[in-house]
Amino acid sequence: MIDVDTSRRRTVDLTDAVRRFCRSRGDGLCNVFVPHATAGIAILETGAGSDDDLVDTLERLLPRDDRYRHSHGSPGHGADHVLPGIVAPSVTIPVQAGQPLLGTWQSVVLVDLNRDNPRRNVRISFVGG
- For the chain of 129 residues, list the mean pLDDT of each consecutive stretch of 10: 92 97 96 96 94 95 89 83 96 98 97 91 94
Q: Tell me what pLDDT residue 74 has.
A: 80
DSSP one-letter code for 52: H
Residue spans of beta strands (DSSP E) within the chain: 2-5, 11-13, 28-33, 40-44, 90-96, 99-100, 107-111, 119-128
Domain around 9 = 2-128
CATH number at residue 77: 2.60.120.460
Q: Tell me what pLDDT residue 126 has.
A: 97
What global pTM score does this model have? 0.93
Please work out, in degrees rounded to the nearest 5, the angle formed at the alpha carbon of residue 26 by the alpha carbons of 22 and 32.
Answer: 35
Q: Which of 38, 21, 39, 42 is nearest to 30 (CA)?
A: 21
Which letter, b or e, does each residue of 51-76 get, where b requires 16 or more Cβ atoms within 10 Å of its Cβ?
A: beebbeebeeebebeeebeeeeeeeb
Whole-angstrom distance, CA of residue 97 vs CA of residue 95: 7
Count of domains in the chain?
1
Instruction: Give 90's contacts (C-beta < 8 A, 6+ positions apart).
Output: 31, 32, 33, 34, 41
Whether 30 and 128 have beta carbons less than 8 Å apart is answered as no
Q: Tell me what pLDDT residue 25 has.
A: 93
Q: Tell me what pLDDT residue 36 has.
A: 95
